[in-house]
Amino acid sequence: MTFMEETSHLKALVQKLADTQQLDREEWVTLLQGQSPEFSEYLFALARKVRQKHYGTDVYVRGLIEFTNYCRNDCYYCGIRKSNPTASRYRLSPEEILSCCRIGYRLGFRTFVLQGGEDGYYTDARLVPLVERIKTSYPDCAITLSVGERDRNSYQRLFDAGADRYLLRHETFQHTHYSKLHPASLSAGHRQDCLWTLKEIGYQVGTGFMVGSPFQTDQHLAEDLLFITRLNPQMVGIGPFIPHHATPFAKKSAGTLEKTLFLLALLRLLLPKVLLPATTALGTIHPKGRELGILAGANVVMPNLSPTSVRKDYALYDNKICTGDEAAECRVCLERRVNSIGYQITTARGDSLNLDSYSAAINPIDSKGGYPYV
């Protein structure tokens, strides 16, 4: 196949994706392997067009509150893994968390994201009243939780207390690859089951994966995109793998800006109405990473509302940005950056337009916790 023929084939696949929101595994792999600077620019332009059709030039802000860095898990890539003896552990009190919400509300935030490690201290008895207090104090705001794998009853109680959304990145769909990134106590199948449960309960669900994680192949990424097609989430959060010095993957290479932007654009075409963050990790690997993410189809940014005294301690990876800025500084800085590329911050709740009903028929889990095509 000549260069012109290959380019024409890739563009035809992209057009098929934009028209049908469906590709098979081999088509995904072909697209991923066809990444080039010229083709990427073509893809970004199409992703921007689709993004602006549904969301205009608005960028939604989420107030991120990293309320605990204790974690019971030992994921090989994560800086707050339980076996990291150098981590400086903390938990915010309910009053500290509510103070973050007060500051965020004054700054125009209408979504609060409570994110933490899988901390056994935060039982339902502690977390449910906290969610209720936030919802009572700020009824016009959405509450997003990102606190990992819990049982169905816990997810239901938190939903009934007022949580609207739940972020749980599946990290990688393929179970063999998952086992190379996590200890045996964790499984890809269980994590995926949690996502289906969250969706059935009624949450707006977010998933996602690392780009360039150790041992990852384009075939793995194709499986991720097929899983996301089936799940049809309201949010997808992806970011480059960035190593942390106190983990088994300290010497592994980071994921690239280019691949992450390429995948953001593909996700925008796959799920035109999805909420797609330009992540802090993107801003960490490139000074204008978040702006480039927006120009590749993203429409969400997540400034940090956590107290500056603990920000440096929520270190999932090395060299994380914005660990010293006050909340207002983060907000103003991001607004300036977003405006510089022709977009604007909006203070709306920013619910996904990709709201659908759950159907158990689209979850054909086999006995290994995977789909038949794995």
Which DSSP string corresponds to 135-151? Answer: HHH-TTSEEEEE-----
Quote the pLDDT of residue 15: 96
Q: Does residue 68 surpass a pLDDT of 80?
A: yes
Least confident of 79-93, 277-291, 342-356: 342-356
Q: Does residue 202 surpass a pLDDT of 70?
A: yes
- Share above pLDDT 70 across residues of the chain, in percent, rounded to a whole number: 95
> What gap in Å lies between CA 322 and CA 327, rounded to an integer?
10
Can you give the three-state secondary structure of 67-104, one letter per residue?
EECCCCCCCCCCCCCCCCCCCCCCECCHHHHHHHHHHH
Higher pLDDT, 37 or 1: 37
**Phi and psi angles of residue 165, each rounded to the nearest 5 degrees, phi first:** -135, 160
The answer for residues whose C-beta is within 8 angstroms of residue 201's C-beta and 6 or more apart is 152, 155, 156, 159
Nearest to 23 by CA among 206, 223, 175, 176: 223
323 — pLDDT class (breaks 50, 70, 90): confident
Average pLDDT of the residues in 152-169: 98
Q: What is the pLDDT of residues 91-106, one digit of tens each?
A: 999 999 999 999 999 9
> What gap in Å lies between CA 342 and CA 346, rounded to an integer?
13
Phi-psi domain of 127 (left: phi exceeds 0; alpha: psi -120 through 50; beta: other): alpha
Q: Give the pair of three-digit tokens for residue 315.
A: 């270190």
Average pLDDT of the residues in 62-78: 97
Total number of residues shown for the chain: 374
Average pLDDT along the chain: 93
Number of helices followed by number of strands (H, E) in the chain: 14, 11
The answer for residues whose C-beta is within 8 angstroms of residue 196's C-beta and 6 or more apart is 231, 358, 363, 365
Q: What is the pLDDT of residues 15-30, one digit of tens each?
A: 999 999 999 999 999 9
Q: Given the structure tokens 């979850």, which residue do they identify?
A: 363
End-to-end Cα spacing for the chain: 29
356 — pLDDT class (breaks 50, 70, 90): low
Least confident of 185-199, 244-258, 347-361: 347-361
- Share above pLDDT 90 across residues of the chain, in percent, rounded to a whole number: 89
The full DSSP string for 168-216 is: ---B-SSHHHHHHHS-TT--HHHHHHHHHHHHHHT-EEEE-BEES-TT-
**Residues paired with 63 in a beta bridge:** 112
Radius of gyration of the chain (CA): 20
Higher pLDDT, 77 or 3: 77
374 — pLDDT class (breaks 50, 70, 90): very low
The answer for residues whose C-beta is within 8 angstroms of residue 186's C-beta and 6 or more apart is 73, 75, 149, 178
324 — pLDDT class (breaks 50, 70, 90): confident
329 — pLDDT class (breaks 50, 70, 90): confident
Q: Given the structure tokens 């008895």, which residue do they identify?
A: 125
Q: Given the structure tokens 């981590």, which residue do they identify?
A: 87
